[in-house]
Amino acid sequence: MSAAALLTAQGSFIPQGSFAPQGPAGRLDLLTQADLLSQPSREEGRRWAEEELSKTRYHEAETTLLERIGRAISEFFADLLDGVTRIEHPALIVVVILAVAALVVGIVWFTRRAAGVPLDRKPESAPVFDAEMDPEVLRRTSAEAAAARDWRRAVQDLVRAVFAEQSRAGRIAIDRSSTAHELAEAAGSAVPPAASAFAELGGLFDTVTFSGTATGPEAYDRARALDAAVQDRAREVRA
């Protein structure tokens, strides 16, 4: 490179090997020594990048939807509690507490309804099985419940009728502490060809009785099909 190319229009000296494009007026834009000294080193650049990326705004996008909802709920109740503590009138505090309780109940109600969980579900107040169960009566009450679209009761009484018939035949013993699973195992041992049908009937009974989920006509149809399979296998054993 010639010596003339290393000088600016005003006589400034450019270190050999540097590059500086010419400006619109034909003058050279030079990196001054101060500009060069202001450039960070590799370690400083890494440290600046780590400090910048540690800021909150870069981590908000990484949180899940549930985390954001949980954080919003926490902030809501924190703000609400802060507001309540500033209320001096006791009656207003009671009103706010009742309003929050009503809100929580409404959320639970809506969630259960959206999930298809019956809101009037009551625990069984009597033993689910009894030694005095009459299979004919249970079959009749099952059909009546199905006609009334009470599918839970229809399935329960039909399964009870199946096990009551096995008890009447002397194949199993039923008492007040018997469970559907225990009766299904005992009946399956007594009538091996129907063991799988008994097991499924026991599981179906437990599902409609204790799971809290809604029971539909498909559960009743399945119970009837299993009942028919048990009857067929029992006839094979008698033959």
CA–CA distances in Å: residue 194 to residues 36, 157, 172: 89, 19, 14
In this structure, is residue 127 part of a structural domain? Answer: no
In this structure, is residue 11 part of a structural domain? Answer: no
What's residue 55's pLDDT? 66
**Using one digit for the tens of pLDDT, what is the confidence trace for 179-224?**
999 999 999 999 999 999 999 999 999 999 998 889 999 999 999 9
What's residue 113's pLDDT? 59
User: Do 176 and 223 share a domain, yes or no?
Assistant: yes
CA distance 147 to 205: 19
In this structure, is residue 72 part of a structural domain? Answer: yes
User: Do 142 and 69 share a domain, yes or no?
Assistant: no
Query: Are 205 and 155 spatial neighbours (Cβ–Cβ below 8 Å)?
Result: yes
Residue 102, domain extent: 60-114
Query: With a cut of 50, which residues of the chain have pLDDT below it?
Result: 1-20, 23-28, 30-31, 119-126
User: Do 68 and 159 share a domain, yes or no?
Assistant: no
How far from each other are the two terminal CA atoms of the chain, in whole angstroms? 113
User: Do 149 and 222 share a domain, yes or no?
Assistant: yes
Query: Are 222 and 204 spatial neighbours (Cβ–Cβ below 8 Å)?
Result: yes
In this structure, is residue 217 part of a structural domain? Answer: yes
CA distance 29 to 37: 17
What's residue 25's pLDDT? 45
In this structure, is residue 25 part of a structural domain? Answer: no
User: Do 221 and 144 share a domain, yes or no?
Assistant: yes
Query: Are 60 and 72 spatial neighbours (Cβ–Cβ below 8 Å)?
Result: no
User: Do 90 and 168 share a domain, yes or no?
Assistant: no
Q: How many residues does the chain have?
A: 239
Per the structure, the count of domains in the chain is: 2
Looking at the DSSP bridge assignments, the partners of residue 22 are 28
User: Do 108 and 199 share a domain, yes or no?
Assistant: no
